[in-house]
Amino acid sequence: MNEVIQQGLMITAIGMGLVFAVIIFLWGMMVLLVWVTTPKSTNKPTEEDVDDVETADSVTDMAAVEKQRRAAAAAVAVGLAIAQSRPITRGAQAQLGTMSPWQSVHRSQQFFGQRKRG
């Protein structure tokens, strides 16, 4: 009996070890593929180029942020206009306290008891 348990534990350890070994191997292969396929940059910018790029980037970043703000404001305005133009849905009716005919029938059955079968 003790020998069977030891054999089972050994098989379990070997199986788990193989699983982790394959996971580590696949991880290494992914790192290798990323390293091989990433283009290497040989041009290093000078200090003057960096200053020009920083000022240009800050101006374009500010313009992009302003554009995003305007787009967000327009999206909110359109969403509010659509919400006001739609009729009240069933979910909104439940929040307002009104019920659909289906709900009222089933709730009245709950109040007056279930039909006994059999």
Over the chain (118 residues), the average pLDDT of each successive run of 10 is 92 97 97 90 64 68 88 91 75 63 80 66
pLDDT the model gives residue 61: 83
Residue 68, amino acid:
Q
Residue-wise over 62-91: b if at least 16 C-beta within 10 A, else e?
Answer: eeeeeeeeeeeeeeeeeeeeeeeeeeeeee
> The tokens 């009240």 sit on which residue?
88
Contacts of 79 (CB under 8 A, 6+ apart): none
**50: in domain:** no
Give the total number of structural domains in the chain.
Answer: 2
Q: What pTM did the predictor assign?
A: 0.35
Containing structural domain, residue 13:
1-37
**115: in domain:** no
Rounded CA separation 106/92 (Å): 19
Retrieve residue 105's tokens.
């029938």
**44: in domain:** no
Residue 55, amino acid:
T
**49: in domain:** no
